[in-house]
Amino acid sequence: MLTRYIGRLHPLKADVVKRGAHKCTSILDTASSEAIGKPAKVQGWVRALRKMKDNVFVDISDGSTCEMLQVVMPKAIKPDELRYGSSVRVKGELTSAPNGKMELRATEVRVIGACNVSEDGYPFAPRKKYDPDYIRQYLHLRPRTRGFSSLLRLRDLASAVIGDYLRDRGFVSVHTPMLTSNDCEGAGEVFVVRPQSKEVVESMRKEGQTEDEIYFDTAAFLTVSGQLHLEAVARALTKVYTFGPTFRAENSKSRLHLSEFYMLEAELAFLTSIEDLMEEVELLVKRVTERMIEKGASDLRAIGALDPQWLNKTFACLTYEDALNVLNDNASQLQRPLKYGEAFTKEHELFLVQHNDGVPVFVVNWPKEIKPFYMKECADDASKVAALDLLVPGVGELVGGSMREDDYEKLELKLPPTGNLSWYLDLRKYGNVPTGGYGMGFDRFLQCVLGIGNIKDTVPFPRWPHNCNL
């Protein structure tokens, strides 16, 4: 069957090539020296327009690269509606400009969609820079700015690099659910999911149910983490990860928080030490960053990103108590002192990184009371758990992880009173193994690596309290 199907592909291939002859060339593909002297058809948006004595010079972008293609056209063929921001299709011949860059000598120019900046209220004028706060007011038009289009390409690159890296290390991608009956972190910062239709609610109502329980017969939430589901799959596939949106109903508008954000979460079976987990996290952060720098150089330059100075340095490691001592020894430089058993504030996290000359820092072995129920107690001190936070420049906490409690009796005592987690206990009954895992905030990772001050500028359409536009 498969052989017969493959044999049918050859005549189709010729037909595709024939039809493809009429397609436009991306600006990324025009950069090849082999294209010089060949006819080409490109399409995109006008980013700059300069009128000279006999010719008009137009810079066109199509999103395939941060570079623009210069189009040279005689004034005689310039359409009247050709302006900054308009979309165009141009035919001509590719040549090498005096500066060595590729340019297109136009023989035909067509405006597809006009754009009158002054009359139509288009918010971005040519040759003018805007503050990110201003640009953020126009989320539907923000991708047209050069800096944000570079950000979107780098975000895509980072996503692809993460998948490639983890696949090379033997991890299997798992699609964990976005609808869940579990509040993994137990902080209560969840969005409740219920039907909007009154007819559906009434048709499914049962005696004694709350409004939140009607549809699924249990309260359902938008996920805050796929970790618990990954733990189930790791006990069959050993090394697994999930990469997708997660949701937190925190009332925070800070530069580091979103209501909807992307998380990379990984889980490893047969993992026995926090040191091995730290090694996994450090390798991930470094290798993904290195590959982004290798493959996204032009876009990194376009947004002014600097090479991370910590790439070739070993990440430091402090216990919670060691970190607390550092903070207390430097209390005069901090606005808020810290007591044992309290979580670090963002000020504390960033100070610890600064104190380590800007090199990321692991903080391990945390007090059990301030960490979630699923974390494993330290072998030498039951008041602490084998957990890690990775603190990085610019954003503070980037990665959180831990060894998972694999002792059935201990876990049974620690389970939260709400939510049905009997299945989670079952994982420890049948062929149990030690596991560990971590979660990395993808948007914060971009903040750190790209030097972006506000997390809202790493996401195409950010959501935060009082803002769910579009």
DSSP assignment of 151-182 equals: HHHHHHHHHHHHHHHHHHTT-EE----SEES-
For residue 234, the SS3 value is helix
Would you place residue 117 in the very low, low, confident or very high pLDDT band (cuts 50, 70, 90)?
A: confident
Residue 135: pLDDT over 50: yes
Count of helix runs (H) and strand runs (E) in the chain = 14, 17
Instruction: Encode pLDDT of 40-67 as tens digits.
Output: 999 999 999 999 989 999 999 999 999 9
- Looking at residue 308, its pLDDT comes to 93
Mean pLDDT of 261-267: 98
Crossing angle of helices 146-168 and 442-450, in 10° steps, is 120
Give me the phi and psi of 117, to 5 degrees please: -60, -45
Would you place residue 17 in the very low, low, confident or very high pLDDT band (cuts 50, 70, 90)?
A: very low
Secondary element (H or E) of residue 381:
strand 381-392
Residue 297: pLDDT over 60: yes
Selection from 60, 35, 37, 38 nearest residue 49 by Cα: 60
Residue 35: pLDDT over 90: no
- Looking at residue 126, its pLDDT comes to 86
Q: What percent of the chain has pLDDT over 70?
A: 94
Mean pLDDT of 287-293: 97
Give me the phi and psi of 221, to 5 degrees please: -130, 160
- Looking at residue 109, its pLDDT comes to 97
Instruction: Encode pLDDT of 175-206 as tens digits.
Output: 999 999 887 666 668 999 999 999 998 899 88
Residue 244: pLDDT over 70: yes
Would you place residue 469 in the very low, low, confident or very high pLDDT band (cuts 50, 70, 90)?
A: confident
Question: Rounded to 5 degrees, what angle do the CA atoms 141, 147, 151 make?
Answer: 90
State both tokens at 179.
């609808």
- Looking at residue 183, its pLDDT comes to 75
**What is the residue whose two structure tokens read 């790439």?**
311
Mean pLDDT of 438-453: 97
- Looking at residue 2, its pLDDT comes to 55
Mean pLDDT of 205-233: 92
Residues of 366-394 as b/e, b for ≥16 C-beta within 10 angstroms?
Answer: bbbeebbbbbbbbeeeeebbbbbbbbbbb
- Looking at residue 268, its pLDDT comes to 98
Mean pLDDT of 72-92: 96
Residue 412: pLDDT over 50: yes
Pair type for strands 102-113 and 69-74: parallel
Residue 236: pLDDT over 90: yes
DSSP state of 343: P
Mean pLDDT of 269-275: 97
Would you place residue 15 in the very low, low, confident or very high pLDDT band (cuts 50, 70, 90)?
A: low
For residue 284, the SS3 value is helix
> What's the whole-number average pLDDT of the chain?
92
Instruction: Encode pLDDT of 346-401 as tens digits.
Output: 999 999 999 999 999 999 999 999 999 999 999 999 999 999 999 999 999 999 99
| Burial class of residue 254 in the structure, from the number of CB atoms within 10 Å of its CB (0-12 exposed, 13-18 middle, 19+ buried) | exposed
Would you place residue 6 in the very low, low, confident or very high pLDDT band (cuts 50, 70, 90)?
A: low
State both tokens at 184.
């993994």
Residue 242: pLDDT over 80: yes
Mean pLDDT of 462-470: 93
Would you place residue 8 in the very low, low, confident or very high pLDDT band (cuts 50, 70, 90)?
A: low
User: What are the chain's domains?
Assistant: 27-128 (2.40.50.140), 149-176+224-457 (3.30.930.10), 189-223 (no CATH)
Higher pLDDT, 337 or 273: 273
